Structure 1
Amino acid sequence: MAMVIPSTMITDNVRLNHLAALDVIGADAEKFLQGQTSAQVSLADGEFAPLTCFCTPKGRMLANGQLLRLNAEHFRLILSVSLTDSLAAHLKKFAAFYRAELIHDTNITFIGASKEADTLAESLGLTLPEQPYAQSVNGPSSVVRVAGEMPRWLFCTTETTIEASSQQVVDDEVQQAAWQLADIRSGIAWLSEAQQDHFLPQMLNWEALGGISFKKGCYTGQEVVARAHFRGQVKKRLVHAELTSTTLPETGASIKTELDKAMGEIVASVRRDNDSVELLAVMNTKATEEAMPLYWEGNALTLLPLPYAIERLDPEQLAATLKGQV
């Protein structure tokens, strides 16, 4: 397989095949989601699209994603394509008691854009959001500004709409890798099937990204998640790092000390050039606090800064800031 080396800029409108849409539709859609997800669902109002996650009763993440509201009775969760069917099967056990339907619409396509986002938004009749987590909707199409230092927008639409727009969209491994590298540099880790039911949300720094509301009522796993937060019991955290290697680590690969003791595991990695890799890993906080030498397959790991503080960021605050209320 050819070596994929991303550029530092997303120059094209690129199809993102690793993402999928799980729609929740019906008169009880909001009420149903409120009891299942870490987001305060009412905040998803068509203008603000909060990050969120779904947990087991033990607080372990089944999936994380971004929650959009397309209309009063239609929500869309953007998540890893590898988790869509399993999350839908899990949620359907509870949706049976509500007027809510779960739909995995495979006709939906996702497009990442940066340089060409203005043109694409105009062709789809969308207003390009200026602030992270802000959303715009027009019929079958929507766009959300992605969090992070690089200006990026995630478009969600149908193949038919894209074809009618005459906009060029590439299905290119290099540009897809560039998008995933931007996620890594933004400190945003998307859970995949390989690590489902494995991490507390805080282990992916989800509360530091506004992905957990500590002001809402109960949801599945809420008690464990809240207890870990208020008692300071989170002993593993997401870190940003690099290493010199001609091989790309697999998801779940172990990070070890000089004495071969496992201290963490890789969540996402992208080849940066011919002999270096940039990654996100969930690490034992002791290893980072004590600055232990760390390795993957004998290759030394160098920690890099994250673009945010490891502290609670309430989605209520994010929504208020977006609307100019603070």
Structure 2
Amino acid sequence: MSDLAFSSFTLIGVDALKFLQGQVTVNVEALAENVSQYTAICDLKGRIHFGLWLKKLNPEHFEIVTTQDQAEEFAKHIKKFGAFSKMKLEQTAQVFPILNGATTDFSTTETDVNAWQLQAIDVGQAWISATTEHLFQPQELRLHQREGVHYDKGCYLGQEIIARLWFKAKPKSWLHLVLGGGHAPAPATLLNDNTQIVNSIELDDTYKALVVAKPAALAELSLDILDLPESLNGDVARPQ
């Protein structure tokens, strides 16, 4: 049985949208209502601190889901940075994931979390937990190809570094889907100097994993590189 679990929150108030716009990598103002979007709150080095599924019910009412192991730290972060904003964060319940096309929805009815993990890994829906916080930049996880990062939305935490990487450079490592033999390495495990596990799940005598890797480093390992969905197979760099 998986020990992966998820916690849901509501963020309600007249300042909720403005506050989130200055925190997350996605353009909250442009979010469609009632659609779950995976996005991130980054640290000042441009690496993902919190991964979260964000759903805008209306501009003053948001539902947010984090991994349960990030929930307490996430609540402290919001209360610290939002202390002077007219809004209230409340933790509501444990929730359970359901893959819904290009995103994940959540239900209070229990689902098979192991099955979801395998489905999410297969389609490149990487997620961040307490084990992997502060390790990866959004572009390395192909988050922009999942509509989870917008580069023209204005300031947010870590935006300066994230924008510089997008407009003036190119990541050296990025997300790949792999099949390996034996036990599944835990998230954050380094398989070599330039290949790191983001998410993994053990199968019968093999495992599947999403890794952030330099292609040359990945080629040194005894892994099968599998195809991601077409939308995540392209170059992670900005089109020239």
TM-score (norm 1): 0.66
Matches within 5 A, 1:229-244: 229-244=166-181
Unmatched 5+ stretches in structure 1 = 5-14, 114-144, 163-168, 257-261, 295-299, 315-326
Q: Distance in 1 between matches of 2:89 and 2:115?
A: 31
- 2:18 aligned with 1:31: yes
Q: SS of the counterpart of 1:202?
A: helix
Q: Which residue of 2 aligns with 1:293?
A: 220
Q: Which residue of 1 aligns with 2:206?
A: 276
Q: SS of the counterpart of 1:228?
A: helix
Q: State the one-letter code of the partner of 1:191.
A: I
- Indicate if the aligned counterparts of 2:96 and 2:113 stay in contact, CA closer than 8 A: no
Q: Distance in 1 between matches of 2:26 and 2:3?
A: 24
Q: Distance in 2 between matches of 1:72 and 1:90?
A: 21
Deviation (angstroms), 1:78? 1.9
Q: State the one-letter code of the partner of 2:224.
A: T
Deviation (angstroms), 1:285? 3.9
Unmatched 5+ stretches in structure 2 = none
Q: Distance in 2 between matches of 1:198 and 1:17?
A: 19
Q: SS of the counterpart of 2:162?
A: helix
- Percent identity among equivalent residues? 31
Deviation (angstroms), 1:236? 1.3
Distance 1:48 1:311, change over 3 A: farther
- Indicate if the aligned counterparts of 2:180 and 2:223 stay in contact, CA closer than 8 A: yes
Once the two structures are superposed, residues 133-172 of structure 1 have per-residue CA deviations (whole angstroms, 9 ceiling, x without a partner) of xxxxxxxxxxxx3417xxxx62334xxxx6xxxxxx55xx
- Indicate if the aligned counterparts of 2:176 and 2:225 stay in contact, CA closer than 8 A: yes
Q: Which residue of 2 aligns with 1:18?
A: 5
Q: Distance in 1 between matches of 2:45 and 2:70?
A: 19
- 2:240 aligned with 1:309: no
- Indicate if the aligned counterparts of 1:21 and 1:108 stay in contact, CA closer than 8 A: yes
TM-score (norm 2): 0.88
- Identify which range, 278-287 or 234-243, moves more after superposition: 278-287
Q: Supply the RMSD in Å over aligned alpha carbons.
A: 2.5
Q: Distance in 1 between matches of 2:42 and 2:196?
A: 20
Deviation (angstroms), 1:54? 0.3
Distance 1:97 1:194, change over 3 A: same
Q: Distance in 2 between matches of 1:212 and 1:84?
A: 22
| Structure (1 or 2) with the larger CA radius of gyration | 1
Deviation (angstroms), 1:35? 0.6
Moved over 4 A (4+): 311-314
- 2:188 aligned with 1:202: no
Once the two structures are superposed, residues 36-58 of structure 1 have per-residue CA deviations (whole angstroms, 9 ceiling, x without a partner) of 11111122342443321101111
Q: Distance in 2 between matches of 1:233 and 1:111?
A: 33
Once the two structures are superposed, residues 67-118 of structure 1 have per-residue CA deviations (whole angstroms, 9 ceiling, x without a partner) of 102344211122211112112212222101210222222x3532527xxxxx
- 2:96 aligned with 1:110: yes
Equivalent of 1:250, from 186, 189, 194? 186
Q: Distance in 2 between matches of 1:43 and 1:85?
A: 28
Q: Distance in 2 between matches of 1:49 and 1:112?
A: 11
Distance 1:96 1:52, change over 3 A: same
Distance 1:183 1:111, change over 3 A: closer
Q: SS of the counterpart of 2:17?
A: helix
Deviation (angstroms), 1:215? 2.0
Equivalent of 1:211, from 148, 159, 164? 148
- 2:105 aligned with 1:154: yes
Matches within 5 A, 1:8-87: 18-87=5-74
Equivalent of 1:224, from 151, 161, 169? 161
Deviation (angstroms), 1:218? 0.7
